[in-house]
Every structure is written in structure tokens, then in C-alpha cells.
Structure 1
Amino acid sequence: MRLYFDNAFLRELPGDPASGPGLRQVHGAAWSRVEPTPVAAPRLVAHAAEVADMLALAADDVASPDFAAVFGGNALLAGMDPWAANYGGHQFGHWAGQLGDGRAISLGEALTADGARHELQLKGAGPTPYSRSADGRAVMRSSIREFICSEAMHHLGVPTTRALSLVSTGEAVVRDMFYDGHPRPEPGAVVCRVAPSFIRFGTFELPASRGDVDLLRALAEFCVWRDFPWLLGEHAGRPLGHLQLEHLFDEALFAAWFREVCERTARLVGHWMRVGFVHGVLNTDNMSILGLTIDYGPYGWIDDYDPDWTPNTTDAQHRRYRYGWQPRVAHWNLARLAQALSPLFADAAPLQAGLDAYAATWAECERDNACAKLGLEGGEDVDLALMRDLQALMHRAGADMTNCFRALADIDLDAPQPSLDPLRAAFYDQRRLAEHAPALEDWLARYAARCRADGLPHEARVARMRAASPRYVPRNYLAQQAIDRAAAGDEAGIHELLDVLRDPYGEQPGREAFAALRPDWALDRAGCSMLSCSS
């Protein structure tokens, strides 16, 4: 098993003079060296073959006991130089100070033959200087959820970190899932996460909060150089030190960088809203500078359409991170990033321009989502109003978001009065549907008229709708079923679910059960509707 490492994050940025997992406040440094804590019996439970291929790892590499040893935290390959990153963040709207990688340890930055950079990071590999009162470990249930969702999001076309492997540790981890005084031992696991960069908004917030402008500037220059090299134009690929000596990192370059971060974030949120994903804990330390979905914790998938739903029990009272608020929370988080970066600018105008670009890009994404999911070519304001009216009816009548949008493509729009029949199976309560049926039929009549005015051929309209609205998503109850089977000794459910989610937009005859409505037993079941940050 060969991987070539170029650990630029360690080479180019200042580090913690101390090493090891002892808890401490780390000043003037972007990282701390710390090695994974070995586990009793690492065993590969599952891996994503696509990610292994991306890293040029052969099937024999994955099958080797060395693979589980390395990606379970018991061994290192040549060139690996593990570290935990130092960052802060706003959590639930309040500044939380230093946070850092509390249960994530990066092994190194692997370079592949195509020149791509892939940071390999173990989640659940033991304590770091940033673990606070935690043990740095992860349980199997949360690790299965992260492993499955990371790959599902990729196949859905949503920007995301990836998951290479899921390794059981052979050790128990004690967790109080709902922080209610009932801890219990659970099987431990380690997920290997893969991304070009794990830098997040909070990476810049921490030095800014401490008045450490030198580190703030170093981080910004490094991030542009490594993660946004196209912004350097003809200077891309040159050594960072040379570019710094030539003072190429000026305000205009930082402004272009911030604008791209804002636009990427808007497009990311647009994808979340399109597929019905709720992150659940959109703190600034969980926002990727590259516009990736990062840190899968108490996430959830909309079943019955409810813009006020949050899967996070910690957020149950205020619902800050509810589905419908994700666009505004992302904007708020970007404003915190702008505040952190302000020492690099003479005035706020370029930063405000970036925030304005977020608003414009999100508005464009919202219009595009409406057109795609409704099968329209237009993009007019009427299309957005049509979508919002449908969403309001879906909420009142209790429609399943995924199945309702999927079934919408089956409506006969040439009928004098389009029938609700193709949609009926997408509603959870037929009595509620009957109550709102007249309003839904009125909407269908308006929709049919709009489609006729649009002029998009039937086949093109259906293809457009099905490309935007998945048939299969990793619903919470599906993940919980895989978790329950694994707990009973049957890990095949993990592989079956992952295989279905590799083709989320296809019909997949024989697998219709994976597209079924949320069953009644899952409505109040832990892991299906109720999740915490330790889930």
C-alpha cells in the first residue's frame, strides 16, 4: 500500500511547540502534532470502492490487514505525520473560543498522479489537545451514519467530504446519547474522511479573536495558495514563500477569494435544500472554506415536508438550524467569517460585496431548484411563487418531500383537470390529504397551465425533474435499520444501503422498499427523529 504525502499544512504554517494529546490552549499555531491512539482489534467493516480508486488503492491494499491497522489508528505509512487542527467557532450563535479537532486526527495530505490533494483524516482515533473533556472516540452508530451519508451526498451531486473506510475498534466507548444521565457502553469505530482541505470558517475566527493578525494572514495566504490556486493565475504552482516575498497576496486577491467562498457556500446550501438535507449543527466550525458538507453529526433528511424541522435535540427549543433557516444561517456564518478577515482589508466594502454575492447566488440557486424540480425551462418569478405555494400545501397536507417531488413527474398535464392520483402515495395521512385536495387540485391546474406556456417537451421535462429530485436518499430510519442490523452482528445492511445510494436518481426495480415513506415506528424513535451531537 503506497501513498505519497506532501503535508503542506504542517510545512507552511506554524505549529504547536508541544506535542501529544494533553489538553491546552494553543496560541500562534495552526496545528498540534498528535498520533492516533491504538485500538484493541481494528477490523474493516466497509469501504467506499470509489474513494479507494480515487486514491489509487488496489483491492489487495484494502483487503490487507495493514489497511485496517492504518485506518483504525494502529499504524502509520511512510510520509504520514499526524496532526490535529486548531480552530474556534460560533456555536448556536455564540462565540465558543478555541475548539479544534477534538476527535479527528489528520494522517497526511496524499497526492495522486493527477495532481489532486486528499487530506486523510481519522474520526474517532483518540484524544487530541482539543478534546476538552471528551475521549476522542466515536461509536459505531454515529460512524455508520457518517460513512453512509458522506458517500450518499457525493452520489446525489452535493459537495461533500468523502469516506474511505469504516473500521471497528474492538473496544467499547461509553456514551450518554441524549445527555440525560443514562450513559452506556457501545461498540467503537473509526471513519477515514477524505477531502482536499478541512479548513473551516473557525480556522480564521480563532486568530482574529486573539488579535493574532500574523497567523490570520498566514492562514489566508496558505488557503488561497493551496486550496484556491486558480485565483493566482499565472503564479499558481509557485512556492508559497516566493509569492509572499513578492507581496502578491493583496486586498484584491483576498476579496476574490472571499467572494468565491461566499458563492460556493450558497451553491452548497442550494443543494441541501434541493435534496431535503438538514445539517443539524451549522456552527461556524462546521462550515468548510471549500463549500463542502463537513462534520456529519445530528443531520437528518426531511420526510414529511416541514421547513421548521431540525433533527438536533440540542436545537429543539430554538430551532436555529431548522431546514428552512439554513440559507440565512449560512449567510450569518459568512458574516462572522467576514468579521474575522476584516483586519486584512482597509475597509469593509470588498467583504460586503462577497456577502452580497452570497445573497445573489442563493437567489439564483433557489430559482434554479424551483425550475428543475418543477420541470420548467423558465426561471421567472412566477416559477418561484409556484414552488412556494406547492411547498406550503405539502406542509399543510403532510407530503413526503422526496416522494412528492418524484411523483410530480407522473402527473398527466394534458388532462382538463390533472388528477392527484399519482401523488396520493406520497402523503402520510390520507385524511389530511382529502382536507387539502381542492387546494392541491387548483395548484395542479395552475402548474399544468404554466408547463404548457413553458413549452418544454414532455420527455425533457420529466428528465429534468428526475435529475433534480432523487428517488433514494439516506433517510434516518434507513440508516438506523443498518445500525440495528450491525449491532445484531449483520453488517450486510451497511453495504446494501450504500449500494442503493450509489444510484439515487435511478428507479432500481426490486429496491422500492428503500424509497418507502417513513414508517410509524420511526416517528419518535431515537436515531430516526431524535439525534444529538454525540449521535
Structure 2
Amino acid sequence: MTLKLNIKDKFNKELPADPILENSRRQVSEACFSFVTPKIPSNPSLIHVSPEMLNNLGLTKEDSETKDFLNLVTGAEIFPNTKPYAMCYAGHQFGNWAGQLGDGRAINLAEIEHKNKHWALQLKGAGETPYSRSADGLAVLRSSIREYLCSEAMFHLGVPTTRALSLSLSGDQVLRDVMYNGNPDYEKGAIVARVSPSFLRFGSYQIFPSRGDVDTLKTLVDFTINTHYSHLGKPSKAVYIAFMKEVATRSLDMVIHWQRVGFVHGVMNTDNMSILGLTIDYGPYGWLEGYDHGWTPNTTDNTHKRYSYGSQMQITHWNLFQLANAIYPLVEDAEPFETILNDFPKEAETAYRDMMRSKLGLKVEIESDGELIEELEKVLHTSETDMTIFFRNLANLKTSEYQEWWSIISNAFYKPNEINGDIKDSWKHWFSNYGKRLAKEQSTDQERKLEMNSINPKYVLRNYMAQLAIDDADKGDYKLIEEFFNLLKKPYDEQPTSEKWFSKRPEWARNKVGCSMLSCSS
């Protein structure tokens, strides 16, 4: 290969490997990964590349136009002196212990250093691994477009996230049952090259104590601290506790950002929780259209709504309990872990209130702000109200003209004719309180608007937008992928020529598969 990458592999050199080299489905013990070779695609082609991630890895636009680059990001050729691998981990899925899971359709190619930053490069959809269970290890264009666009969009929203380097077609057809209803069909195979400082997740640590393997657990935790949390000091019991505390803090920061922008992950299993507090594994995610704490995009979760928008902070807390249980054997003292976990709900409540205050443009902290926020959440649920449009337009309200609220936010309502009677009175009451509250702020209306518009995005990857891009891409038209990729680089800017994407979900998308109903099928 002519590509020049500064390969600095650590994971597959410093951690114990699965000694079995054949690519067969099996239980893997006392190992953090298994060596595996990606499946060679039949006719790979590149759809899109992220210029920012190219630069982060030390590559150029010219590099991305070469055959070597295409071969790298589709698994057609292994980069010299590297040994690809799939990670071994376990996890709780929908609250139930699932045992060994692992990278069933992800293959880590190499680790790259550039400008003092360390990146792991991974292919999603590049073939089976020992952890694929009954699956084929492949991915389809539909889900790959969603992951590629969303991970980059989240970065520009300021949300902690893994990122994406490229989106490619494999040239193969992949059989999938989209809604798990017994109607499988062939779809275009695709591969996303995704990038992160690490793809370690909570489940990476859970698997070893579940098997009584404390030695490998210690090896992995020590590696994680030395590699990603070295500022905490050398591994020790005190540092293990500090490590747990920082993972909790980072995880809370991540989910608060989700709540801020209206993102619903959809499948917050412990194997989908990054140890670095990054959004990872973009599966059946969705963006709130109507503001609804009970909404989940995942059809599998439709009955119990475990992973609904309003439950994400509580689920983060539950997942942290599982991580603490996994790390406990290294400390053998429950009290410090209990303190971290018991403090989390109060910290989450404070962080959430501060986040909501920022969305409302409130800088001066007043005790009654909690009541104002609670009242707003109640009234937002009285009629379907677009979250993104409501908060973005709220910045246009002038403190002395709060009685003009209807003209400011009316286009956020999906059914404006419902806003009458008690519902309208509730809105009037809230805006009266909000107007009086704004009068206690020291900033001008213009200053507040600028601040609110830096927190409340104008453009997010609405579910129907992603589906439009998918529908066109299925026909070989990738213009919307490019348009959305660039639009979402500046989600807080006005972008007047893109105003059509600042609009409520169209009615045709209300019950369309891919817009309101999503599955884990990818």
C-alpha cells in the first residue's frame, strides 16, 4: 500500500489474544480479542469520505481517491504490518444478562497516531467473526448511511461520539428481515469505516468476572487506565475507584447532551456503552419530532419503552451499576462504588436542570427554575410539539413581548387547532411565568438569542431526512448524503438556503418504516 499511516497498535499487542486462529463461532475465554481477517468484498466502491477524519488520521483528499484507500476501508486489503481483530465482550441486553457477545460485525483494522492523537480504525459490516453467532457479520446500505451521517452530525452538535471516516458499498447483496416479521429481502451491502480513541465498552469488563477471570479483568482495566485515563495515576485500588467515578461523569455528560438535542439511542445495552463516555453503535436511534419523554425509535422496545427518551439518564445509572459490579473484584470494597452510584441521581438531576436552563436562556440561577422547567415539560406534552423548532424559535421571544408567544412558536405544533381551551390557557400561563423570569436576567434579548442558538440546534438528522437519503442512495443517487453531511456540519447556523430542512416531519413519514419505526436489523 502507498498510504502513509503512523500505525501504533496497542490493544492487540498489550492484551491477551484468543489463541485459536480459525474464524469459527465459539466461546472465547481469557482473551480480550480474536484475530480475524475481513471478508473481501466482491466489487467495492466508495460513496463518501469525511474530510475532517481524513485529516485527523494524517491522510489527504488525494489519498482518499486511490485504490489503496478503497481497499483499506472496505477490508479488501490488510494494511502492512497490522493484525485485524474482533473484540470479546459480554453485556446486559434489555436488562437481561446475555453472556458473551463481542464484535459480531465489527473488525478493528489498526490504531493510528497523528498530531498526538490516538485513533482506532474499525470496519462495520466487513464479515463474520468468532462473535457473529448465527449472523453473517455484514451490514446493509440503509443502516450504514444512518451511522455514517449521524456520528459525524453528533460531533458537530458537540455531543461526545465515535466518528466515521468513510461509507462504501461492498458490491454484495445481504439478506435482511427489516422489521423481523418474516419478510426478508436482499439489500445492498455496505461498510462504514468508523474511528474512535477506543471501542471498549462496559461489556468488555463484564465478561471476565462473570467467568471468575479476575486476572484478565485486571489486565484490561490497567490497560484502559494507562492508555486512556493515565491522568488518574498508576493503577491501584484508589485509582480504580477514581476511574469508575470519571466513567460515571463522562457517561452523564454524554446522555445530558443527548437530552439537550433530542437524540434517542434506542438500544442502551451495556455492550453499547462506551468506556470513554462516547456515543457508540448507532443502531435504531431516532430524533424526537414531537416532544415526548415516552418515545423510543426501537420497535423491539415498543412495549416496555426501556430505552425511551425520558429514561436515558436512569438507564445510564443502571448500566453504571453493572460496570461497578464488574470492577468490584479489583477493590473488594463496596462503599466507594455505592457512594459514586448513590450520588449519580442527584448529579443527573442538577445537570439536567442546568441543561434545560441553558436551553431557556437562563443564566441567573433561581430556585424556582425547576418548577418552570417542570411546567414546560407538562405543557409540551399536551399537544404534539416539535422539539427542535420549539426551542430554536423560543430564542426569538422578546422579554417585554412574551404575550406574543403564539406568533413565535405556533409553527412548532403539529396540530395547531388543538391549542385552545385548557391547553391554550396552560401555554399562556407558562409564557407569563417565563416572561417574568426573563425579566430577572441581566443579558439583552439579542445576547440571550445568540446564547440559546448556540445550544438549541436548528438542524438535526431527522428520521425522515435520513430515510430520504437512503431511498435515493438505493437508486445510486448520493447527492442527499453530501447535502446532509455538509448541512449538519453547522447545525447551529441559520443556513438560509437549507431552510426547508427546518420543518416538522411530513405526514407521509409519520408511520413509515425507517422514519418512525426502526429495528436493530443492519
Please report the TM-score for the alignment, with normalisation by the length of structure 1: 0.95
In the other structure, the counterpart of 1:462 is 449
In the other structure, the counterpart of 2:229 is 228
- Measured after TM superposition, the shift of residue 179 of structure 1 is 1.0
In the alignment, which of 79, 84, 92 is matched to residue 94 of structure 2? 92
- 8 Å contact 1:367–1:379 — kept in the other structure? no
In the alignment, which of 363, 366, 370 is matched to residue 384 of structure 1? 370
Counterpart secondary structure, 2:400? coil
Instruction: Kindly provide the amino acid, as one letter, of the partner of residue 134 in structure 1.
Output: A
- Measured after TM superposition, the shift of residue 360 of structure 1 is 4.0
* Alignment partners' CA distance in 2, 1:386 and 1:67: 53
Structural mapping, 1:286-365, within 5 Å: 286-365=272-351
Q: Deviations over 1:390-425 (max 9, x none)?
A: 122111121100000001011232027343211000
Counterpart secondary structure, 1:346? coil
* Alignment partners' CA distance in 1, 2:497 and 2:62: 32
- 8 Å contact 1:5–1:110 — kept in the other structure? yes
Instruction: Kindly provide the amino acid, as one letter, of the partner of residue 36 in structure 1.
Output: P
- Measured after TM superposition, the shift of residue 531 of structure 1 is 0.4
In the other structure, the counterpart of 1:104 is 106
In the alignment, which of 484, 497, 501 is matched to residue 510 of structure 1? 497
In the alignment, which of 416, 420, 445 is matched to residue 430 of structure 1? 416
Instruction: Kindly provide the amino acid, as one letter, of the partner of residue 200 in structure 2.
Output: I
Instruction: Kindly provide the amino acid, as one letter, of the partner of residue 384 in structure 2.
Output: G
Counterpart secondary structure, 1:149? helix
* Alignment partners' CA distance in 2, 1:412 and 1:6: 54
Across the aligned residues of Structure 1 and Structure 2, the Cα RMSD in angstroms comes to 1.1
* Alignment partners' CA distance in 2, 1:216 and 1:151: 32
In the alignment, which of 12, 20, 26 is matched to residue 18 of structure 1? 20
Alignment partner of 1:211 is 2:198: no
- Measured after TM superposition, the shift of residue 380 of structure 1 is 3.2
* Alignment partners' CA distance in 2, 1:176 and 1:416: 51
Report the more deviating stretch, 62-71 or 281-290.
Answer: 62-71
In the alignment, which of 459, 482, 499 is matched to residue 486 of structure 2? 499
Instruction: Kindly provide the amino acid, as one letter, of the partner of residue 229 in structure 1.
Output: S
* Alignment partners' CA distance in 1, 2:191 and 2:7: 21
Q: Deviations over 1:213-268 (max 9, x none)?
A: 00111111000001111112xxxxxxxxxxxxxxx421101111110000000010
* Alignment partners' CA distance in 2, 1:433 and 1:510: 31
Instruction: Kindly provide the amino acid, as one letter, of the partner of residue 144 in structure 1.
Output: I
- Measured after TM superposition, the shift of residue 357 of structure 1 is 4.5
- Measured after TM superposition, the shift of residue 77 of structure 1 is 1.5
- Measured after TM superposition, the shift of residue 370 of structure 1 is 1.5
Instruction: Kindly provide the amino acid, as one letter, of the partner of residue 186 in structure 2.
Output: P
Alignment partner of 1:34 is 2:21: no
In the alignment, which of 69, 72, 75 is matched to residue 70 of structure 1? 72
In the other structure, the counterpart of 1:252 is 238
Report the more deviating stretch, 52-61 or 132-141.
Answer: 52-61
Q: How many aligned residue pairs are there?
A: 519
* Alignment partners' CA distance in 2, 1:379 and 1:478: 37
- 8 Å contact 1:266–1:359 — kept in the other structure? no
In the other structure, the counterpart of 2:126 is 125
Instruction: Kindly provide the amino acid, as one letter, of the partner of residue 101 in structure 1.
Output: D
In the other structure, the counterpart of 1:238 is none
In the alignment, which of 38, 49, 52 is matched to residue 50 of structure 1? 52
* Alignment partners' CA distance in 1, 2:350 and 2:365: 9
Alignment partner of 1:483 is 2:470: yes
Identical-pair percentage: 46
* Alignment partners' CA distance in 1, 2:402 and 2:327: 58
- 8 Å contact 1:20–1:35 — kept in the other structure? no
In the other structure, the counterpart of 1:240 is none
Instruction: Kindly provide the amino acid, as one letter, of the partner of residue 58 in structure 1.
Output: T
- 8 Å contact 1:173–1:185 — kept in the other structure? yes
- 8 Å contact 1:37–1:74 — kept in the other structure? yes
- 8 Å contact 1:31–1:85 — kept in the other structure? yes
In the other structure, the counterpart of 1:194 is 195
In the other structure, the counterpart of 1:235 is none
- Measured after TM superposition, the shift of residue 20 of structure 1 is 3.5
- 8 Å contact 2:383–2:413 — kept in the other structure? yes
Counterpart secondary structure, 1:510? helix
- Measured after TM superposition, the shift of residue 361 of structure 1 is 3.4
Quickly say closer, same or farther: Cα 1:416–1:125, change in 2 above 3 A.
Answer: closer
Report the more deviating stretch, 20-29 or 274-283.
Answer: 20-29
- 8 Å contact 2:398–2:445 — kept in the other structure? no
* Alignment partners' CA distance in 1, 2:279 and 2:139: 19
- 8 Å contact 1:370–1:383 — kept in the other structure? no
In the alignment, which of 270, 290, 301 is matched to residue 256 of structure 2? 270
Instruction: Kindly provide the amino acid, as one letter, of the partner of residue 136 in structure 1.
Output: G
- 8 Å contact 2:18–2:34 — kept in the other structure? yes
- 8 Å contact 1:200–1:286 — kept in the other structure? yes
- 8 Å contact 1:138–1:173 — kept in the other structure? yes
Gapped runs of 5+ residues in structure 1? 233-247
* Alignment partners' CA distance in 2, 1:215 and 1:531: 37
- Measured after TM superposition, the shift of residue 80 of structure 1 is 2.4
* Alignment partners' CA distance in 2, 1:308 and 1:481: 25
* Alignment partners' CA distance in 2, 1:480 and 1:75: 31
In the alignment, which of 486, 509, 513 is matched to residue 522 of structure 1? 509
Counterpart secondary structure, 1:294? coil
Counterpart secondary structure, 2:98? strand
- 8 Å contact 2:226–2:235 — kept in the other structure? no
- 8 Å contact 1:321–1:329 — kept in the other structure? yes
Instruction: Kindly provide the amino acid, as one letter, of the partner of residue 162 in structure 1.
Output: R
Counterpart secondary structure, 1:463? helix
In the alignment, which of 382, 399, 405 is matched to residue 385 of structure 2? 399
Structural mapping, 1:143-154, within 5 Å: 143-154=144-155
Please report the TM-score for the alignment, with normalisation by the length of structure 2: 0.98
Gapped runs of 5+ residues in structure 2? none
Counterpart secondary structure, 1:417? helix
Quickly say closer, same or farther: Cα 1:22–1:302, change in 2 above 3 A.
Answer: same
Q: Deviations over 1:27-74 (max 9, x none)?
A: 000000001000011111001111111111111100112111110110
